Amino acid sequence: MKGPLEELQIIKPVKLSIDGVSKTFHEGVVVTHALDNVSLSVDEGEFVCLVGPSGCGKSTLLAMIAGLEFPDQGAIMSDGKMVTEPGRDRMVMFQEAALFPWLDVLGNVMFGLKLKPNLTTKECREVAKFYIQLVGLAKYARSNIHELSGGMRQRVALARSLAPNPRVLLMDEPFASLDAMTREQLYGDLQEIWAARKKTIVFVTHNVREAACLGDRVVLFSPHPGRVREQFKIDLPRPRDINSPSLAAYATEITKALKSHQAGNDDVAE
């Protein structure tokens, strides 16, 4: 017979709460209804992937979580506080590395630490070196950005995003422009870093197999206006191999649901 402690389930605190969020853009006479009544919660330390067709509002939602855009209706909360502006607790990593070409690798990662003004220059350097080593670029700390491959530049961007120690890392298709081999290597690296640092990650992607490889949960959005249609818990051990048959089965299931909603069968899954 189980004791009382064995009956208890570990309940993780909610890190992000998105409640009834809608967003419309107006450009002249063109009106784009990007998101409609989106509600979603993300737990502390959870890795959530947002998937859906182009124009379904995934990146718009990410920008609102970051405080770069604001909902017309609804609310977004981070650690129980309303998101009203960008904050050092939420860092964004974009598809393009957006590094400073006049700074070397160490300088670029140190630049991200300007968000932590209480650190001395020496402390900033040590923190930057730690994260450069974490992404496997210790030998390239003094390299110029133009000397790096695309994958290495994204590693620098990841180190710069992690260095200020944000509570939430927001990633907007960060591997989309990379070749398949580089992406596969970064999938493994990102899983290792996530396991070590336990960051809450929200990851936007068009790639269903990528989402199944990385996410604890995959959230499927309908065509615009974007709505949450289905959610898939990926119950596979880590680290995951993107080419494994078990992962392919999840990807196939999600792809079928995506095609179904795109064809007009957009009943919300219970």
Q: Which two tokens stand for residue 170?
A: 């927001």
Across 193-205, average pLDDT: 92
Indicate whether 2 pLDDT > 60.
no
Query: What pLDDT, on the 0 to 100 scale, is given for residue 264?
Result: 62
Q: Which sign, positive or negative, has the C-alpha torsion 232, 171, 115, 189?
A: positive
With DSSP H G I counted as helix, E B as strand and the rest as coil, what are the percentages for the chain, rounded to 5?
Answer: 35, 25, 35
Proportion of the chain above pLDDT 70, given as a percent: 92
State the pLDDT at residue 208: 95
Nearest to 171 by CA among 207, 126, 128: 207
Q: Which amino acid is at 201?
A: I
**229 part of a folded domain:** yes
Confidence check: pLDDT of 75 > 70: yes
In a domain, 49, yes or no: yes
> Omega into 225 within 30° of 0, i.e. cis?
yes
Residue 151 lies in a domain: no
Residue predicted with more confidence, 233 or 26 = 233
pLDDT, position 191: 93
Q: Please report whether residue 240 resides in a domain.
A: yes
Q: What is the mean pLDDT of the chain?
A: 89
> Virtual CA dihedral for 231, 235, 238, 243, nearest 10 degrees?
-80
| Structural domain of 213 | 13-84+195-270
Tell me the pTM.
0.89
**Six-digit token pair at 8?**
């208890």
Question: Does residue 184 belong to any structural domain of this protein?
Answer: no
Q: What is the CATH number of the domain that holds 229?
A: 3.40.50.300
30 in a structural domain: yes
pLDDT band at 214; cut points 50, 70, 90: very high
Report which of residues 1 and 173 the model is more confident about.
Answer: 173
